[in-house]
Amino acid sequence: MPALFELEAAFAEAWADGSFRAELDGLLRDYAGRPSPLTECHRLSEELGVRVLLKREDLNHTGSHKINNVLGQALLAKRMGKARLVAETGAGQHGVATATAAALMGLRCEVYMGEVDMARQELNVFRMRLLGAVVRPATSGSRTLKDAVNDAMRDWVATVGDSHYCLGSVMGPHPYPWMVREFHRVIGSESAVQCRSLLDGASPEVVVACVGGGSNAAGIFSGFSEDPNVELVGVEPAGGAAVGHGAPGIVHGMLSYLLQDEWGQVAEAHSISAGLDYPGVGPEHSHLADSGRAVYPSVTDAEVVEAFVLLSRTEGIIPALESAHALAWVSRERATLAGSTVLVNLSGRGDKDVAQMMDVLADRL
């Protein structure tokens, strides 16, 4: 708790400091490449009968939305006098972003990654090591993202004097859900302005994003949550549908919807995407679900594979498997969505998933 109190006070002070915000904005612009563009998908839209717009977070430096939050937290760590970043990662994108920021700012970096995820995301493991990070396997439990979070938290509480835990999603104990959401608010703010410009002052009818912990969704939702005419859709994996099939529970210092058994023990999640292999969602997503402001349907691995191929072949854009969940829902619901404008957060690019998909699609391609 003292570590969390220290972090909350430091973030509140930094977020109110114009010089901190200006330095972060400069890094997001000149290093990460923001603003990320809005792409209208003409061929995909024609095939689905839905006007599809993509928020291109895949074009950020390191290939996903993760860099927004990591640059903010790394700046905050330096401001707090910390010399070392600790992180967890599932698909590896948050780990790569953390290792990148650490290299940029001269910080030591240690990343915990589930043993299973290390095997299916070897490219990102190499990228992290190339950037100077130490990558440690999480070997307990399901050996995926949940277990990497466990190990990273254990490290942080033992080394907090010198270390900052760079948590990668809108989850965990306060102030992390709030802090990570604020660092990703830039996605929603940009999207709202870009959509008004493209749509003659209007907003899209539907905003869709994938949800594991839910940081990319929280970021883009923040730009539209005050507009009651915009439907917010967070798409979960069928094997990790915490809102759809879970119940309120406590894990990693937060009360949220959680996959658990009848005794309250955390159940294992499954997804074809390593980045969504998490048994809960952030507490803000749980609140949005309870209040009815957002809905959280799920899609199957088979639907995700179809969406992965569909976007690749219609638009020449290979999506991350995480982002393909959002696209899969749009494809499945095309009849219901017919004629409407849908904004999809393309949270990451699919380079990291190509080796895995070579096996999945071996008979087809």
Output the six-digit token pair for 202.
């209007």
Beta strand extents in 186-307 (DSSP E only): 206-210, 231-237, 247-251, 254-258, 294-295, 298-299
Beta strand extents in the chain (DSSP E only): 38-40, 51-56, 84-89, 108-114, 134-138, 163-165, 206-210, 231-237, 247-251, 254-258, 294-295, 298-299, 341-346
For residue 298, the Cα-to-chain-centroid distance in whole angstroms is 16
Among 61, 65, 210, 285, which one carries the catalytic annotation?
65
Output the six-digit token pair for 110.
């240690």
Is 94 one of the catalytic residues? Answer: no
Is 195 one of the catalytic residues? Answer: no
Query: φ and ψ at 247, to 5 degrees?
Result: -145, 160
- CA distances in angstroms from 142 to 116, 211, 268, 275, listed in the order given: 8, 19, 7, 14
- Rounded CA gap, 314 and 48, in Å? 11
Q: Coil, strand or helix: which one is 26?
A: helix
Is residue 321 within a helix (H) or strand (E), and if so which, with residue range?
helix 321-332
Output the six-digit token pair for 248.
């309120």
**Selection from 139, 143, 173 nearest residue 156 by Cα:** 173
Catalytic site positions: 41, 65
